[in-house]
Amino acid sequence: MTTTRKPGERAGLTPEIVFAAARELLAEVGIEAMSMRGVAKRLGVAPNALYAHVVSKQDLVDHLLDDVLSAVDTQVATQDPSSALQALMVDTYDVLLLHAALLPAFLVRQGARGDNARRLGDGVKTHLESASVPAERVDQAVHVLIIHTIGFAAFASHPNIDSNGYEQPPAVLRRDFTVGLKWLIFGMLDC
């Protein structure tokens, strides 16, 4: 039986190859300048070869962002919901900082979509529900925790100058992130 291959398959592309090239290009030129044509050029193929793997630039960006979140460990080994939430969000923060070039895309997209983003959101929801956060507040709490984490990671990914003109070291920014995170979690669990 003869199988007809799509353009991207004829070019020998796989989703992993497309995503790796897109991630490199995005890190070099930013989300606004990244294009399907640029990714295709990097791979030495015609732009239509990419469409066997993604439907648009937005779809490609969504795949890249969701792929980053695959590194977040949602299996927190603690029974305390507060500690579990903190561990989960700190791990997310660390993963985001490892992919600082993608942080502007996370900000523009206001997070990520896809299986890994849903897995992360479900993990946060589970811990909030375990802490008896009222059901009508769980989605809002997830949103606030994610915004805090993405925002702080974006802030920490650039040089930060304090009021005295000194650059704040990453350890200070991490401390500020975790203190703010504790305040948010405490407030959510106290509602």
* Residues of the domain holding 33: 7-54
Biggest distance spanned by C-alpha atoms of the chain: 72
pLDDT mean across residues, the chain: 86
In tens, the pLDDT along 58-115 reads 889 888 888 889 999 888 777 788 999 999 999 999 999 998 888 887 887 766 788 8
Same-domain check for residues 81 and 168: yes
The CA-based dihedral angle spanning residues 175, 181, 186, 189, taken in that order and rounded to the nearest 10 degrees: -160
Higher per-residue confidence, 2 vs 154: 154
Q: What percent of the chain has pLDDT over 70?
A: 93
Eight-state DSSP code of residue 79: S
Same-domain check for residues 76 and 137: yes
Same-domain check for residues 149 and 90: yes
Any domain includes 63: no
pLDDT surpassing 70 at residue 5: no
Any domain includes 61: no
Q: pLDDT at position 38, please?
A: 95
Q: Count up the domains in the chain and report the number.
A: 2
Same-domain check for residues 97 and 123: yes
Same-domain check for residues 98 and 164: yes
Tell me the CA distances in angstroms from 129 to 25, 93, 126, 187, one per residue in order. Answer: 40, 22, 5, 14
Higher per-residue confidence, 159 vs 128: 128
Q: pLDDT at position 1, please?
A: 43
Q: pLDDT at position 11, please?
A: 65
In tens, the pLDDT along 113-124 reads 888 999 999 999
